[in-house]
Structures are given as structure tokens and as C-alpha cells.
Structure 1
Amino acid sequence: MEISSYIKKELIKLNLPCKSRNELFQLMHQEAYKYGYVKEDFLQGLMSREEVFPTGIKLSNYSVAIPHTEAEYVNNQFISVVVPERPICFKQMDDETIETEVSLIFMLGLNKPHSQLEALKELMNLIQQEEVINKIIAAKNEEEVINLLDTMN
């Protein structure tokens, strides 16, 4: 599986103005719903899952998050790439009592369990490459992000 094949240009948001994780989820749900990628209850599924299974990942010099939900809320598979205007607090995956300021979010909308596992493996490999993460965060437009992720595979 190549994650770049699931990246949707219309769901790449650079310098997205939002102040909280929930606001980010609402904005991205609206976008994904507008394009028919998700069902109406995707937002609730996303927020519920994030409360039980936090997705913030703290690495040495930066933090990312990989929020996702159950397959039943997804119509068409996608991976959204979001760079918020300012870092957003997410609870850490490995210790939900600690929050980390996230600068890059990969939101998954996958409806096949195998796809989700493969995507998570590839993303875990990707997020450990600091140079690539910095380039995505600094990208000026959606094409730059797509090209960066294409060259990863």
C-alpha cells in the first residue's frame, strides 16, 4: 500500500486556523463530508475514539497525530494532511495523562481493516523522518505535500 494513493488534494490543509483538537475535527469532518468521503456521524466517531485511544505521538523534536475512526463511518478511503496554523494539543498515544503540541496531523478515513493497518505502519515509518516532516510542515501548497509523499514510496 502506498499512503500517497490515499492522500486527497482537497483534504490537504496548510496553515489551518483552528484553536483546538475538536475544532480541527469539526473543520475536517465538514470538508470530508462535503466531498462524500465520510458519513454524517464520522465526527462523533472520531471524537469518541480519540477520547479512548489518543493519537498524539511525541518524537524528539516534534509531535504528530494520526486520528482515525471505525470503518463504518467512511464512504471512500482517504488520508488527510493537516498543518495547523499553530500547534494543537493532543493527548499522547503512549500516556494519555500527557498532552503534546502537534504540528502535523494525518487524519485517516479508511474502511478496510487491512488498509488501516498498512497505512499506520507506513505512517509510523514516515513520521520518524524529521527532514520529511519539516518539509511537509513548511510546504507552500498541496502539490508540494503530494510530491513529497510520492517520493517517499
Structure 2
Amino acid sequence: MSTNRYLVLSGHAQNSEEAISICADALHKAGIVGDEFGRKCCVRERSYPTGLPTEIPVAIPHCKDTGIQENAICILRLDKPVTFYRMDDDEEKIETRLVLNLAIKNPNEHLAVLQNLMGFLNNSDEIRRCMELPETELIDYLTAKIG
């Protein structure tokens, strides 16, 4: 599996679509994804929600897109929670302050990256660190923990 590139942002969003757009714009500006990536993630999120009911709720929006140039994860730490629907129950809402927008170039790697990430996110100490570490330390931490 390729190494991931990480972008870490902190900010404010009114809703889940805006949170996804903030991530997608950062990935686009970094030359990692094409200009359709954010829209495709939002469309996919409506049909296949990605909210995880972990101790500290997280969302991991993603999509398959030929415009992805390299593997990357944009981490958005929100000042106030936004509503995502749960991955395991699309009727249930969760309030999340941590969004991990995945851009995975090779569709065959998607599942492996998601499984690796799920193991990481099931540990509330790991999620707490994602919320608390300064940006550069968080990038080093994620690179060591996830790859």
C-alpha cells in the first residue's frame, strides 16, 4: 500500500456538505484531486453516509474519482460539530467535530485504507490525539500510526 499524504485543517462548517467542501478544496489546491472530487464526495455521502459512532464521532467521506493524483487524507477539526448520518444506520444522525476526507487513487486500495483507518478510529485515545495535537505533530503521528 502506498503512503498517504496528510493535510490538517481546523475550521468551521455549517453542515456536512460544507465540511466536505472545505476538505476537497484543500486537496484540490494541493494538486491532489480534480475539481469534481468534492461534489462526488457529497453525492456519495447522501447515499452512503460515513459517520462513525465512535466515542468521539468521526466522519470519513470519500469517493472513487479518476482525478485523484495520489493517496491523501484531509483531516478537518471543526470548532463546532456538524451532523453526519451514521455509516451503519442511515436514519441515525451523529454530531462530529472530526472529518477525515479520503482521496485514494487506486480503487483496490480503498478497502484496505478504510479497514486500517477503522482500527485506528476505534481507539478513543487516537481520536483524542487527532483533535489535540498541533498540525505538524499530527501529520507525523498519523504517518507513524496509519502509514
Query: Does TM, scored on the shorter chain, surpass 0.5?
Result: yes
Hey, which bits of structure 1, 4+ residues long, moved more than 3 A? Answer: none
Deviations 1:44-100 (A, max 9, x none): 2111100110000102x2211110011324222211111111111100011111110
For 1:125, the equivalent position in structure 2 comes to: 119
Conserved? CA contact 2:24–2:101, under 8 Å? no
Conserved? CA contact 1:36–1:76, under 8 Å? no
For 1:98, the equivalent position in structure 2 comes to: 92
Tell me how far apart the structure 2 counterparts of residues 67 and 26 of structure 1 sit (CA, whole Å): 11
Deviations 1:113-140 (A, max 9, x none): 222111101100000111111111112x
* Stretches of structure 1 lacking an aligned partner (at least 5 in a row): none
Tell me how far apart the structure 2 counterparts of residues 127 and 117 of structure 1 sit (CA, whole Å): 15
Deviations 1:22-46 (A, max 9, x none): 1112222221111211111112211
Please report the RMSD computed on the Cα atoms of aligned residues, expressed in angstroms: 1.6
For 1:12, the equivalent position in structure 2 comes to: 8
Normalising to structure 1: TM-score of the pair? 0.87
* Equivalent position amino acid for 1:13 in 2: L
Pick closer, same or farther for the CA change 1:35–1:91 going to 2, 3 Å. same
Question: How many residue pairs get matched?
Answer: 146
- What percent identity do the matched residue pairs reach? 25
Pick closer, same or farther for the CA change 1:150–1:37 going to 2, 3 Å. closer
Q: Does structure 1 residue 145 correspond to structure 2 residue 138? A: yes
Normalising to structure 2: TM-score of the pair? 0.90
Q: Does structure 1 residue 84 correspond to structure 2 residue 85? A: no
Pick closer, same or farther for the CA change 1:76–1:118 going to 2, 3 Å. same
* Stretches of structure 2 lacking an aligned partner (at least 5 in a row): none
Tell me how far apart the structure 1 counterparts of residues 49 and 67 of structure 2 sit (CA, whole Å): 18
